[in-house]
Structure 1
Amino acid sequence: MAMVIAALLSLAPEGAMAQGRRAKPPSFAAPVPEPRPRTELTPPAATPPAIVPAAPAIEPSANGGSDGDVAACHRALNEMGVRFAPAAAPEGQAQCRIDNPVRIEAISLDGRVVRLPDKPLLACSLALSLASFTRDITAPLARGLADDALVAFGTGNGFECRSRNRAAGAKMSAHGMGLAVDIAWFELTSAGRIMVERPATPVGARFIGAVRKAGCGWFTTVLGPGSDPSHANHLHFDRERRGRDGQSRLCQ
């Protein structure tokens, strides 16, 4: 019997013999993608630093100055359209000294005239600073914030031989050197007079605030309402040297 079964199996087709056995899946290798070319990452360009306009340099006082210093300052005032007159230093006040004194009457701006009715007595170096501040800051702010034209401003006497805040024993005021000016009001063509102590309109208040803030870039000391009782009704601008390098500022 065993011989018969073996003979029958030998006659069966190969497909029948393969039934019941699990076919193995064909083996193949997955294709490998070609390597990508290496790329160098370029760092982003550095952001250029913001350009901040520099504040104008502090002009030193003429220190009694040579004839050349006096002539140069007068020439600069003329070129800026400042109407002024050379003045003599006050007599009998030895503790105070004003270098190259001038009286300013008006400043010409693009065919218009800004009047200084108090005709302040100032050192010529401060007169130059005040004229340029009027031309480059005050008049443009009046136009930009109030859509109006600056026509005058009140300065008081300018030079005054006294101590700071008139306090006994205090250091000499910048007024005693002709290096300070106190502005109590500005006058615009349409808005009229704007008082520093109490502007009557929001636009006037913004104008006074902007002039005061801008002054910190032009003068070494800026004081006004809120600084102390002595400056409650005016803006004090001076060019007295502050600090070891003369460039320090006090803005209150």
Structure 2
Amino acid sequence: MTADVHNGDFADAPVLLTGFEPFGGEADNPSWDAVRRLHGERIGGRRVVAERLPVAFGASLQRLRECLDASRPALVLCVGQAGGRAQLSIERVAINVDDARIADNLGARPIDEPVIGDGPAAYFSTLPIKALRAALLDAGLPAEISQTAGTYVCNHVFYGLMHELHRRGDARVRGGFIHIPYSPAQAARHAGAPSLDADSVVRALRAMVETALATDVDRRLAGGAEH
């Protein structure tokens, strides 16, 4: 039976993890490869539900809304690939802009368009981002606070998630977005690109979910950027 956080079953509500299908000519997407390995596990006393999103403007948000309706989660962590980044990037802010350098998997390439026409300029993650970074560093995993999720489908989903959670109005449900590097197999095809193996990504996701569920007030730690 699906938990319903709006009918008093919040204690049984699961954690929703999402990853993406491959895009940009890649055969795999390490975000989905990692997320699906956690499907059905219990972390911090909550069951994990893993779902795959299309790399498509519009369709990704429709699928995300369906996943939210089906799982009624207590926590949502969306995961995407950022080829070229060397660290696990915990995103701070989603902006209301779609500006695609390349077309999505359905051929759409919006330029300077809003994610949500009447939405605010930006949303902040409601995850304890500083505590998440500290947990990853303590576990020996490379991690940073990122000040931008880009303007492609990852930011589209991040903004759409935060807008939908705000619209639904249950402040107990927190959400955010994490970018991960290339997998080693991908990096082998991109000379000089950094990578992170799947086992490390899975370990990082476990640590972040556990920390997010256990942290009510974020830690006050430096995590800003100079540029």
Max radius of gyration: which structure? Answer: 1
Superposed pair shares fold, TM > 0.5? no
Looking at both structures, which has the greater relative contact order when contacts are Cα pairs under 8 Å and sequence separation is at least 6? 2
- Give the TM interval when normalised to the shorter protein: under 0.3
Q: Normalising by the residue count of structure 2, what TM-score does the alignment of the two structures yield?
A: 0.26
Q: Normalising by the residue count of structure 1, what TM-score does the alignment of the two structures yield?
A: 0.24
